[in-house]
Structure 1
Amino acid sequence: MNTPEWIKPGINGAVIGAAVVGIVGFTWGGWVTGGTAHERAMAMAHDDVVAAMVPVCLDMARTDPDRAAKLVTIRGASTFQRRDALMEAGWATVPGAEAADRDIAQACLASLDVDAIPERPKTAADGG
């Protein structure tokens, strides 16, 4: 095909312009691929579920009849093992789930602040 000589600069400009727009859009414009958008959406959904489940974990901790013993166990664990101790206490197990969730346990542990919770004083009913 014979292309007129005056069209070639316009075609070259369009190709170079499209490349520049694509590069600028993906680097500074905030454009993402469908896969990246899906990954970000899944991460945000997971974070939202964890945040929504923290009050459930705190309520389970508050209403647990063995709360004092479990808090002693959690306090006695080293800092990096407290999450596992909280998971073993059962407070990070979402109702309906079979196993505790590590991310919920970590968020619950941060909100629970086990070092700041005073131990319940012994009463006459406890034999003390």
Structure 2
Amino acid sequence: MSEINESGWSTYRPTKTVWFWSTVGASILTMVVGFTWGGWTTAGGAALMTDQAVRSARAELISDICVHNFASAANATENLKELKSKSSWEQDDFIENGGWAMVTGLSKPVPDAADTCADALVKLKELPSVAEAETSS
């Protein structure tokens, strides 16, 4: 019995080639697990996520201003009925043509702001009064 134990794993000495490929395999496995389940990302992926977050935040901000501008308009109730009667791909054009998504000082419209504004307005059951909108700000 003692001969079997002595000639088993306790006396095994791997070669340099085995050590090298074991290290390479463990490194690759660590990277695969890290990037798929560990939440790791590359610098390029992080930059892309940052750009998307910035664009989304800008669109949300302009959308909030757009909803306020829309509700402040003299014929807001009629405009809301007309907006809801349009198809979803025409709603953002209606918002852009009405000028509610434009902010003074910006040379061009913010991408996705009119679409986000239209979505927020369509979801409203009724328009907030201008006085409510100003006191909640």
Higher RCO (CA-CA < 8 Å; seq separation 6+): 2
Rg (Cα) greater in structure: 2
1:95 aligns with 2:66: no
* More displaced stretch, 61-70 vs 41-50: 61-70
Query: Structure 1: 5+ residue runs without aligned partners?
Result: 119-128
Aligned CA-pair RMSD: 2.6
Query: Structure 2: 5+ residue runs without aligned partners?
Result: 1-13, 128-137
User: TM-score scaled by structure 2?
Assistant: 0.67
Q: 1:44 to 1:102 in 2, by over 3 A?
A: closer
**Conservation of the 8 A alpha-carbon contact between 1:92 and 1:100:** yes
CA distance in 1 between counterparts of 2:78 and 2:52 reads 35
CA distance in 1 between counterparts of 2:83 and 2:111 reads 15
Matches within 5 A, 1:103-114: 103-113=112-122
More helix by share: 2
Matches within 5 A, 1:1-128: 6-65=15-74, 67=76, 70-71=79-80, 73-75=82-84, 77-113=86-122, 116-117=125-126
User: TM-score scaled by structure 1?
Assistant: 0.71
Post-superposition, which runs of at least 4 consecutive aligned residues in structure 1 deviate over 6 A? none
**Conservation of the 8 A alpha-carbon contact between 1:60 and 1:91:** yes
CA distance in 2 between counterparts of 1:17 and 1:115 reads 55
